Amino acid sequence: MKNLTLIFGAVYGLISVILGAFGAHLFKKILTIEKLQSFETGVRYQMYAAFFLLIIGFFLKFETGTEKWISILMIVGTFLFSVSIYLLAFQDTLNLNIKIIGPITPLGGLLMIISWGILILFFVRNKA
């Protein structure tokens, strides 16, 4: 799980930089200001998650279920949150009818929040 956490952290970071560059240059010509701001929110939170995963990947031992769930919830939550925002930002441009995706964004955000909460509890219990 440790290695998987580090891999996802690195991949999320890589994708964030690539999408951020596209957003700053190419997507600026395609998306409305509101859609571009939304897209940039997805990129920003994906980068935050990348740092989170890299940090916990180096510091946690992943010996307990708690430690594993911290990682799993952040990986899945970030995917749901950021990818749903990306799809929503491009739904008009790509003529996608994906209204079902709207509720997925807050679900992803909730999983990310729970991951942070479990990390706090882990630190409290272990007196980190």
Q: Which domains does the chain have, with CATH numbers?
A: 2-126 (1.20.120)
Q: Stretch 102-117: mean pLDDT, rounded?
A: 95
Percent of the chain topping pLDDT 90: 80
pLDDT, tens only, 22-53: 988 888 889 899 999 999 999 999 999 999 99
Provide the mean pLDDT of the chain: 93
Tens of pLDDT along 65-79? 999 999 999 999 999
The model's pTM is: 0.91
**C-beta of residue 61 within 8 angstroms of C-beta of residue 67:** yes
CA-CA distances (angstroms) from residue 113 to 31, 33, 77, 118?
Answer: 29, 27, 9, 9
In this predicted structure, the answer to whether residue 96 has a pLDDT above a threshold of 90 is no
